[in-house]
Amino acid sequence: MSDTPTLTTARLTLRPLAPDDAEALFPAMADPEVMHWWSRGPFASVEELRAYFADMRLGQRAWAAVRAGETAAIGFVYVGERRPGVSEIGYLFARATWGSGVARESVSAVIAQLFGEGTRRLFADIDPDAVASARLLERIGFTCEGRLRAEWQTHIGVRDTLIYAMLRSEWLARDAAMSGRQ
């Protein structure tokens, strides 16, 4: 897996997620509403979250999203390579950021980086009731490819999952179409 480069957008810096980001992200990841659709329940302590972030860094890449000019993470995007050229993407952002577009901006920057590196397919695995997450993926250009029934045992019970995906060729065509409109 490649290094995790620092990325910049109009409003954000996306830098490698570190265990110490647990301090800033704990309020979000201890929030039952934020964690409702996550594969596990809220974290009970900063130390537990710090250990989770340390484990996440093994075999995955993760970016902490930080507002320009600030240092505290407001969310993160992670990517795990599942096989050569195919990666899974996920994200979590503090409730205070919801509706502001920072998740879309962050996820889009990471997608551009991955496809620029040669990834051919990205997919996301989301709970069918995570409507805001589905909308985010669809606005970016992902396609819902299917539903896996009773796929996950989570803190809220056995759950189906929806698989959303995007191909590099679709991202490049989307970028070309957007450039043509400017």
From residue 27, how far is each of 38, 46, 79 by CA, in Å?
A: 15, 9, 22
pTM of the predicted structure, to 2 decimals: 0.93
The topology under which CATH files domain 7-181 is Aminopeptidase (3.40.630)
CB 76 within 8 A of CB 57: no
Domain spans, the chain: 7-181
From residue 77, how far is each of 7, 15, 111, 127, 177 by CA, in Å?
A: 12, 10, 10, 17, 25
Q: Taking the CB of residue 147, how many other CB atoms lie within 10 A of it?
A: 11
- Tens digits of per-residue pLDDT, 7-63? 999 999 999 999 999 999 999 999 999 999 998 999 999 999 999 998 887 779 999
What's the pLDDT score for residue 180? 75
